[in-house]
Chain A
């Protein structure tokens, strides 16, 4: 995974330089872009961290950049910077999925607070996504029978019920179950149910 960075998009050279200096002196690495267009040409799907986006850009404006990020299905939280946090601007930005907004001039404490919260969120989402991908990979190794057993268990059925439904012996159910748990790395029935729920938006 890439190191978390702040991607600062602002058309004012002095602001880019100043905010980058503050971030770097606070131990946050930053990359700067003079326009939305420049940012989008260089944007890569594996970037992680936070986009710090000036709302009133020359050329493409902040909202358009936000939409483009969403359209490309890139998970990268956006924080909007506005000169005066007027309701309409902030509303439009938040509606388009912005994580938060900062008023210019940007206060250092606020800036770092927001950035760290975004980084945490970004971390968590990425970890969750990674875990789910891992789980999916494991679930992919299950046989159709093992998947059936897991489905019934997640739905809360007893071994005997499952045996009757599948027309096999309760003993065989036990065997499939332990093989399934081994493949998924589940240590208890609770684990199985938890994994089942997390997989439930996709097919098991």
Chain B
């Protein structure tokens, strides 16, 4: 079978990938084990911080459970190389087997219960992760220390202390490294995070962590755990601000800082164990805050996405409404046009053609043709504006611009436009062109409504008011108001009380405002006038 000799490039690439992963894992494992070989409990070499465990768990979770034999090999050779073979080969094999079995089971449990899309991103995931790792690392610690106790390498009075040391070391190894490695895996998030590294806030956060660590060690009088709580503050800040990637990275920085501090100050080993115990608490707190913050921002993002989709659907619906409205609107001049042309023909059929009348009719024909073309160009304008481009704009200047545009027309009609801007500095999140257009329609409507009044009562009041996450623009006129019957059809196309209007102003205005995530309603209306409220999303 010649096919078997031909190398399948896919299989080749996959085995290359597996080999690369294994080499990387072994190197990192040994390097970290060597680097973190501080304050070991002789002769077993139990260290108060054991980061290789975090890498092992990450390998199984990210690359697959089938990598479990690598754990055994790594643990075995690390004992040989880093710890200088504290026991015979058989004893070391059993110890490595305990570690391998424990964390393979942990990985299996986690895989079954964690969300696979973005592990550790939800608070539920994090709780599962914390519970499973706490329990399994405790079991592994008991089994590991128990094994060496059984073969006489651990004194009975040291049993509990050694279990605690081993447990804390593994826990911190996992809590500091596994989430951090998961965050590094998300390249997009990493790139975003790198982009943020230069921001002032991140520099301040980093500085706060460093200050916390410096205070911990400098003012400690041999007891660094006394001031360690100070480090909680910057970590919670980082976690709340950047979510899980922030807390993972922050924890890594703190842990490295602790190691560095311990190396410089050269404390007693018990002090380091104590610090590592506090570090476990810090890890749990930081990761929980980070996961909650990540969860919230993801919820916000999906909400935003849904809102966008919804406003798209609304736009489509209002587009359908507009199409049928404009089709009707186009049919009106066409009807008149066709009847005027009929009339011209009838006039020609008469014996003495009335030239004056004919001229009059032809003038009307032309006017109707222009009216039809006006409808078409309005339609085109609307659809050119159809795509919303949300920007941050200040409410006051936006309104001023529109009022300025209408001012001349208002002055000509003797209408006074009174603007009061109590919340003019609020930032709107809208498409300024669309909202200007909508405002223009509503204001024009109000100006038209008051024009029939006595000159002293031609007043339109515009006010910007602030709400929690919105800004309300209130347009009040002193016109005759809107009847209940008319109010029902107010936002339907072709509803107009004006001789010249086409009944589209409010329809378009509402459609535009809604496309921007706001709303336009008739708030009150009575004989003294009407009041429209345009609510717009604001920062």
Contacts and interface: CB of A to CB of B under 8 A. Distances in A.
B499 interface: yes
A56 B328 contact: yes
For chain A, which range describes its interface: under 10, 10 to 19, 20 to 34, or 35 or more residues? 20 to 34
Given A19-B339, A25-B347, A58-B495, A14 B328 contact: no
Interface stretch (A39-47, A103-111, A113-121): A103-111
Contacts of B345: 108
A59 B495 CA distance: 8
A14 B369 CA distance: 11
A155 interface: no
Nearest to B497: A58
A15 B346 contact: no
Interface of B is mostly: helix
Contacts, number: 76
Interface string B329-354: 00111111111101101110010000
B277 to A, nearest CB: 78
For chain B, which range describes its interface: under 10, 10 to 19, 20 to 34, or 35 or more residues? 20 to 34
B371 interface: yes
Contacts of B371: 14
A58 B343 contact: no
Interface in A1-27: 12-15, 17-19, 21-22, 25-26
B5 to A, nearest CB: 73
B361 A105 contact: no
Contacts of A13: 499
B364 A106 contact: no
Contact of B331 (A14, A21, A59, A105): A105
A83 B328 CA distance: 7
A105 B335 contact: yes
B334 A105 contact: yes
A15 B336 contact: yes
A26 B350 CA distance: 10
Contact of A22 (B334, B346, B503): B346
A12 B331 CA distance: 11
Given A17-B364, A105-B337, A12 B343 contact: no
21 contacts: A12-B332, A13-B499, A14-B332, A14-B336, A14-B364, A14-B367, A14-B368, A17-B364, A18-B339, A18-B342, A21-B361, A22-B342, A25-B347, A25-B350, A59-B485, A105-B331, A105-B334, A105-B335, A106-B335, A106-B338, A108-B342
